[in-house]
């Protein structure tokens, strides 16, 4: 997954997707915490938290690449300084059934507590994309009710002159919102 953003503040939710509406179960998120990017996911028995090596620069375009394969994950900022981590259990699947929230969420109390998300992103999210071969990293399993096809954005936390491009694809299917 790739996210291109320009942050105006050093804290906030960039995206979140969960398994259940009450915040329980699996989740995946990307957020800023004191300028440091935090990639978190929970496969059922505790979260993996992978932090960028250093804080990003505010008001500068940043490209974030995220990868997750089974328990292992990686965050790369601006094509350098990759950081790897691993979920603490034997589960390998990430079960996401709810909507993908980009830029904020309508009710933070309904998100996974261990995601540590309390505020929306302030700045510009130019692109969120899931690479075409993402299904390969999931062991070839692509589910027809993929949550990535239900995307909600919370615009009140984004600057007025924002441009948002979303490209979400899988073999034979592409959705683009600009």
At residue 125, the pLDDT reads: 86
Please tell me the distance from the alpha carbon of residue 80 to that of residue 168, in angstroms, as a whole number.
24
Contact 22, 81 (CB under 8 A): no
- Mean local confidence (pLDDT), 154-166: 40
Query: In terms of residues, how long is the chain?
Result: 178
Contact 18, 85 (CB under 8 A): no
Using the predicted structure, report yes or no on whether residue 174 has a pLDDT greater than 80.
Answer: no
At residue 24, the pLDDT reads: 81
Residues 149-171 as b or e (16 or more Cβ within 10 Å = b): eebebeeebbeeeeebebbbbbe
Per residue in 21-63, pLDDT (tens digit) is 787 888 889 999 999 999 999 888 888 999 999 999 999 999 9
In 3D space, the residue among 158, 112, 148 whose CA is nearest the CA of residue 12 turns out to be: 158
Per residue in 67-96, pLDDT (tens digit) is 988 889 999 999 998 999 998 877 787 888
**CA-to-CA separations, 166 to 15, 55, 110, 176, in angstroms, rounded:** 12, 25, 24, 5
Assigned architecture for domain 2-147: Sandwich (2.60)
Using the predicted structure, report yes or no on whether residue 165 has a pLDDT greater than 60.
Answer: no
Please tell me the distance from the alpha carbon of residue 70 to that of residue 124, in angstroms, as a whole number.
30
Using the predicted structure, report yes or no on whether residue 151 has a pLDDT greater than 70.
Answer: no
Using the predicted structure, report yes or no on whether residue 153 has a pLDDT greater than 60.
Answer: no
Per residue in 99-150, pLDDT (tens digit) is 788 888 888 888 877 777 878 888 888 888 876 444 444 444 444 333 343 4
At residue 131, the pLDDT reads: 65
Using the predicted structure, report yes or no on whether residue 173 has a pLDDT greater than 60.
Answer: no
């Amino acid at each position: 997954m790739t996210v291109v953003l320009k942050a105006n503040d050093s804290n906030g939710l960039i995206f979140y997707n969960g398994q259940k509406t009450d915040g329980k179960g699996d989740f995946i998120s990307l957020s800023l915490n004191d300028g440091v990017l935090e990639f978190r996911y929970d496969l059922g028995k505790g979260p993996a938290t992978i932090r960028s090596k250093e804080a990003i620069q505010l008001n500068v375009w940043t490209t974030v690449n995220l990868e997750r394969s089974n328990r292992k994950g990686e965050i790369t900022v601006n094509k350098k300084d990759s950081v790897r981590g691993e979920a603490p259990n034997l589960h390998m699947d990430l079960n996401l059934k709810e909507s993908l929230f980009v830029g904020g969420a309508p009710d933070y109390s309904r998100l996974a507590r261990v995601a540590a998300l309390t505020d929306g992103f302030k700045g510009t999210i130019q692109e969120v994309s899931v690479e075409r071969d993402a299904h390969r990293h999931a062991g070839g399993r692509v589910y027809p009710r993929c949550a990535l096809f239900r995307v909600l954005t919370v615009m009140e936390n984004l600057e007025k002159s924002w441009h948002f491009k979303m490209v979400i694809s899988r073999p034979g299917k592409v959705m683009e919102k600009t």
